[in-house]
Structure 1
Amino acid sequence: MNFKVGKSSKNNLDEAVLESISGLKSPKLILFFSGVEHFEEFSKKISDRFKDSIIIGSTTFAGFCKEGAYKDSLLVMGIEDGIECYADILEEVDRYPLKYVDRVTQCVSKFKDTTNTVCFQISTALISCEELVLSTLNSVLKEKDIPLFGGSAGDRGRAEKTMISFNGQVYTNGCAFVMIKNLGGKIRLYRENIYKPTKHYFTATKVDVRNRIVYEYDNMPAAKVTANALNTTVQNLDKYLDSYPLGRIIGSDMYITANQMVTANNGMAYHARVYNNSKMVLLEPDDYRNVIKETIQTVKNEVPKPSLAIMINCLARSMLFENDGYLNEFAKEMSTALGNYIGFAGYGEQLNEQHFNQTMVLAVFE
């Protein structure tokens, strides 16, 4: 597979674009990530230069590549060959993405066969659209056995504004998706979790699914149940919310649901949907350096010669690593398994039919 990853931290935007796209000729697919501030200009400048390429971009907390983690920089991956790909955009994703489902069908129908194909998607964040997007995409993808991975866009971590871009057009209420067929082998997807279950399990008994609020666990006020499990009071719960997310249990899998805040009437608001009768477990931090070592070893064993990889590393994880002085080292360590890769940090991660938080998702191409 022939591709390049470029980056630039230059203040002059034209120079930044030139530096980051250096060496690209006529890429089939360009992915780019930057901070919110210059995102719209970058989007336009890149698409002006590559009229025939599929170009998907997202705002991010940080961009990742084998050289390290970069904030306030432009990071670009251009893939020249080794893939077949088709892309489009879903609009009005907070309300009615299904209106645009034909765009998904049309992309899928262009493939002669869909073996070794994945769908990569990025949605704008902070508008609770992810579950609607997933049900729209999967209504087409499931029939064709095409797996999905992706993330929600990011910003500096203060929940200000996120944007995505498709072929130069910027959206604050959209989902850009691309179907990528690897012509050189398989594509493996991974999900890494740096939290472990405590002994505290609950069942959600009163929920507002659309607004991602749980009012009761086991018929008791959700905030009180959570505070009791953490041996604290509802008044002091705030300081535990970042470090003690919940796990939503589906069969033998567990997906992290990040706390958002305590609501009126002692409810708990989350960053992903919790459904009625969901089985939940309170999580606590695991030894993340150990977990990451294990992930790296697993990827090395299963894909000894990766050609390219795409990483989504949750914004909350990225902030945790940054506070521990580990963010740059983490990005470099991941390259020992992924080789030349690109990654971004946003407000949520998606894999197949699930939207979750505080997780890393990887797509590794053989």
Structure 2
Amino acid sequence: MLTDVEPSPTETVADPVVRPIVLTAQVPATDPCPVAQIKRDFGDQDLSLLTLFISPAADFDAVVAQAQHAYPDTDVVACSTAGEIGACGYDENQIIAVGFPAVGFATTSLMIEDIDQLTPQPLVDRLVLERVKLQKQNRDMPNGFALLVVDGLSLAEDALTAAISPALRDMPLFGGSAGDGMGFQKTLVSLNGKVARNAAVLTLFCSAYRTHVFSLDHLVPTEKQMVVTDADPARRIVKSINAEPAAPEYARIMGKDPNQLDRFTFASHPVVVRIGGTHHVRAIRQVNDDGDLVFFSAIDEGMVLTTATPQNMVDHLTRKMAELSDNGAPAHIIGCDCILRRIEAEQTQMTRDLSDILARHNVTGFSTYGEQIGPLHVNHTMSGVAIYAPDRKR
């Protein structure tokens, strides 16, 4: 399926040849030859990058091997998902493909391994060299951004984004943590056929099109606060809140039964932390066997958590999509959407309406175990990039 057919940056409306800004396709996870179908849908377009968001229902290794064979001269980046965003919005059991044609994009991708033992400076030096090289070679593509996909069970996203974001300078970073449905057992990333865990893949983009990296969430902080008084930061575990056992105290503050805490409770009753004048979600993943709270992102003793009230997701997403269209509607949006947003949508029976909005605004992407935006790893948000068609000459 081709989407967003617009003139290339050097063409006018009168030109006989038009090219798609971004190519998208989706194939059921059960298809034994999904990449063959994707290649048929994409045609003979010369791609700078192919990204694959792969349902855990698919054979991840087989899909990336097929992609490497079908696109030997193109970087292929893939990750497993906690759900997909396709042509009809929220979807499941799909393989989503996004192709970036070389006519409008130049990219370079690199795998970062052993991210739980990251040595920042050599990585920063490498990124600076790659960024400068890419930009010098593509001066006719002045717009830049970076996409990061990370093992969603690595517990290392916070340190990774904090290390690499400053090296990217004028390439704003967004991304998502790879998922495993609701399994939380095995999350994967891949670059050019190499599959890895405890790893990340970073792609740097130069684009001839105007782009805008964004992050949105629908949560409003309240006046109700709690303090983390005992924690295991390395494992993102909170053992006590307000000097009381963590799970029962959280339940008390939220007015919930401590024996009935589940993912639906955590999705609808989030907590946020203030960082640099802005509140960011610190989402709870589960209660462990010891009655501790396990979080999706960085947590530490002394951290002040504030309860948050969700706005209506449909109304909020409608407003935010309209804001992205203030100076013209995006031709396409690549989105990394937290699994907690999908859970909340299902619980509040808003999935269909949200899907309609996503489809109407050409959002393609996946549901994540966390999102990256700039130097931060966050939760309960959608991060993404809006890509705009060139102004038509009149």
Common topology (TM > 0.5):
yes
What letter is aligned with 2:105?
I
Q: Distance in 2 between matches of 1:167 and 1:27?
A: 14
Q: Which moved more, 1:63-72 or 1:318-327?
A: 318-327
Which residue of 343, 367, 370 corresponds with 1:345?
367
Structure 1 letter corresponding to 2:62: E
Q: 2:94 aligned with 1:73, yes or no? A: yes
Match of 2:38 in 1: 20
Are the structure 2 counterparts of residues 126 and 34 from structure 1 closer, same or farther at C-alpha, using a change threshold of 3 Å?
same
Contact conserved, 1:31 with 1:76, CA < 8 A, in 2? yes
Structure 2 residue corresponding to 1:48, chosen from 57, 69, 82: 69
Shifted more, 305-314 versus 3-12: the winner is: 3-12
In 1, Cα distance between equivalents of 2:291 and 2:70: 53
Of 254, 258, 262, the residue aligned with 1:230 is 254
Q: Which residue is 1:259 aligned to?
A: 284
CA distance change for structure 1 residues 328 and 56 in 2, over 3 Å: closer, same or farther?
farther
Return the offset for 1:305: 3.4
Contact 1:87 1:107 in 2 (8 A): no
Sort the Cα spacing of 1:10 and 1:208 in 2 relative to 1 into closer, same or farther, 3 A: closer
Given the alignment, which residue of 321, 324, 327 partners 1:296?
A: 321
Distance apart, 1:318 and its partner CA: 1.9
CA distance in 2, matches of 1:276, 1:161: 29
When the two chains are superposed, the root-mean-square deviation of aligned CA atoms in Å is 2.5
Number of the residue aligned with 1:363? 385
Decide whether aligned partners of structure 1 residues 292 and 38 sit closer, same or farther in structure 2, where only a CA change above 3 A counts.
same
> What percent identity do the matched residue pairs reach?
20
1:214 corresponds in structure 2 to 238
Letter in 2 for 1:199: E
Alpha-carbon contact 2:29-2:55 (below 8 Å) kept? no
* Amino acid corresponding to residue 354 of structure 2 in structure 1: F
Deviation at residue 165 of structure 1 after TM alignment: 1.1
Check the 8 A contact 1:57/1:164 in 2, yes or no.
yes
> Do 1:65 and 1:331's aligned partners in 2 also have CA atoms closer than 8 Å?
no
- In 2, the alpha carbon distance for the partners of 1:278 and 1:59 equals 31
Alignment CA distance shift 1:17-1:165 (3 Å): same
2:128 to 105, 109, 125: 105
Are positions 1:122 and 2:149 aligned together?
yes
* Aligned-residue offset at 1:298: 1.3
User: Does the CA-based 8 Å contact 1:20-1:74 persist in structure 2?
Assistant: no
Shift of 1:100: 4.3
Give CA deviations for 1:195-232 in whole Å, capped at 9, x if unaligned: 33233113434433222123444555444442331234
User: Which structure 1 residue ranges, 5 or more long, are not aligned?
Assistant: none
Q: Distance in 1 between matches of 2:386 and 2:201?
A: 20
**Aligned residue runs from structure 1 range 112-151, under 5 A:** 112=136, 116-141=143-168, 144-151=169-176
5+ long unaligned stretches in structure 2: 1-7, 9-20, 389-394
Deviation, structure 1 residue 243? 2.1
Alignment length (residue pairs): 359
Aligned equivalents of 1:328, 1:62: Cα separation in 2: 15
CA distance in 1, matches of 2:347, 2:250: 25
Distance 1:228 1:10, change over 3 A: closer
